[in-house]
Structure 1
């Protein structure tokens, strides 16, 4: 068993799962038949076969295959980079979920937030095996929220995780930026660019008006059609005398 990837010091990672639940896992048919001799590479084959995730279920509180694989992964204690690969790949959602649970159990608080928070952007549906044996639909981002906010998930008591704002105050974590924050920032940039373009256009128009009025003279106005000035300008071009303006009304 490799210990190089372990984030747990002084204890066997397997002990993170309650003794009673461990005993149920060791006694389960799935663990005996499907988890024997697995390693960090071959456990992937079992994880991609999963159809749901969950803890224990039914009257006998049988462990789900997901829970069995979680214990086996703690036994294997693979390199940290391998676990990150489980999470970074996007083809197999239950392999990703298994890696996320492992990070929450083993990872330091800073690692838990930094590795799991990006998975908030995964909105795929996942099936949950409930304690009464029924199946319910959830989503990957909801599972991540449970891992980061709850003390117990799938019958597992999770290690204490300080609130995010506390780690920010201690400057252990940078303020989190969500995908929505990025979208809002993009929209703000677009609006800002639009305003800047409008301002540049306004300045160009002012510059044009200034050029038309150079030398203290007002720019010449175009004669209004059908007015005396309009027709006189045409007559002037034709060499005809101007029309006389009608006398002002008394």
Structure 2
């Protein structure tokens, strides 16, 4: 696909011939006012031009916070990159490469947001629920400043809320409905072992030696750029693209 300075052509239904998400152009999953703010933003024009699934990693690992819009409606880099992903519509294997990267928590958060927007309901639960045990801290950009949240809370918001990061999320069936339809197995809580240990303490039995949730990660400085780790993350994505013969361009 030829690079174009004006990305609005991607939301023109008359010329769109790409893959659909629930019957519509994925770029239309964000509301029109948000899209317009993204198109007008400096970050979109200067940092998102010409990105593909591999080079987007370079931008994503530079992020230091999540969020939707702030101030007078200015979009965050997180929201701009999420929209770029909607335009690129990478293969599932590429998205999972982003999501399973342990070194860059904001890359994981971006991939999780994309999963919630584009995957089918059962796959959303299967893909995101394992990360409810990721307790690392995240900075969240608000209208007036910054707030502290955690990865597990962000994942829970994606699964439970109707609006996250200035984006209305499509209403999907709840987990119980999918279990009743036998599309999901009953979820086993990662806190089960801890609860067993608490019960054992109450009746005087020695606790098991298994590790529980553990202390919160202290890697609050991950957002500082580490060139070697960044290169490794990008190479992983490039290898996945090559293995699946994928070539993604703006």
Task: Give me the TM-score of the superposition, normalised by structure 2.
Answer: 0.70
Q: Partner of 2:223 in structure 1? A: none
Please name the residue that 2:24 is paired with: 11
Q: Output aligned runs, 1:50-199, within 5 Å.
A: 50-58=63-71, 60-132=72-144, 134-183=145-194
3-state DSSP class of the match of 2:124?
Answer: helix
Post-superposition Cα deviations, 1:170-202, rounded to whole Å, max 9, x if no partner, equal 11100011211245568999xxxx9xxxxxxxx
State the alpha-carbon separation in 2 of the partners of residues 128 and 184 from structure 1: 31
Name the CA distance, whole Å, in 2 between partners of 1:15 and 1:146. Answer: 21
Q: Deviations over 1:54-103 (max 9, x none)?
A: 00110x21000000000001001001111011111110000000000000
Determine helix, strand or coil for the equivalent of 1:136: strand
The answer to whether the Cα contact below 8 Å between 2:67 and 2:141 also exists between their aligned partners in 1 is yes
Specify the alignment match of 2:56 in structure 1.
43
- Alpha-carbon contact 1:127-1:135 (below 8 Å) kept: yes
Q: 1:187 to 1:136 in 2, by over 3 A?
A: closer
Deviations for 1:180-238, whole angstroms, at most 9, x for unmatched residues? 1245568999xxxx9xxxxxxxxxxxxxxxxxxxxxxxxxxxxxxxxxxxxxxxxxxxx
Deviations 1:92-139 (A, max 9, x none): 00000000000000010001100000000100000000022x101100
**What count of residue pairs does the alignment treat as equivalent?**
186
* Residue aligned with 1:44, SS: helix
1:7 and 1:107 in contact (8 A); partners too: no
Paired with 2:159 and 2:67, the residues of 1 have a C-alpha distance of 16
Distance in 2 between the 1:76 and 1:186 partners?
47
Which blocks of at least 5 consecutive residues in structure 2 are unaligned? 2-15, 206-250
Runs (4+) of structure 1 moved beyond 6 Å? 185-189
- Secondary structure at the residue paired with 1:179? coil
Q: Give the whole-Å Cα distance in 1 for the aligned partners of 2:19 and 2:124.
A: 14
Q: For residues 7 and 113 of structure 1, do their structure 2 counterparts lie closer, same or farther at Cα, with a shift above 3 Å needed?
A: farther
More helix by share: 1
TM-score under structure 1 normalisation?
0.70
Indicate if the aligned counterparts of 1:7 and 1:108 stay in contact, CA closer than 8 A: no
- Partner secondary structure for residue 147 of structure 2: strand
1:204 maps to what in 2? none
Alpha-carbon distance change, 69 to 162 in structure 1, aligned in 2, over 3 angstroms: same
> Bigger radius of gyration, 1 or 2?
1
Q: Which has the higher contact order (CA 8 A, sep 6+)?
A: 2
User: Distance between the aligned counterparts of 1:41 and 1:70, measured in 2?
Assistant: 14
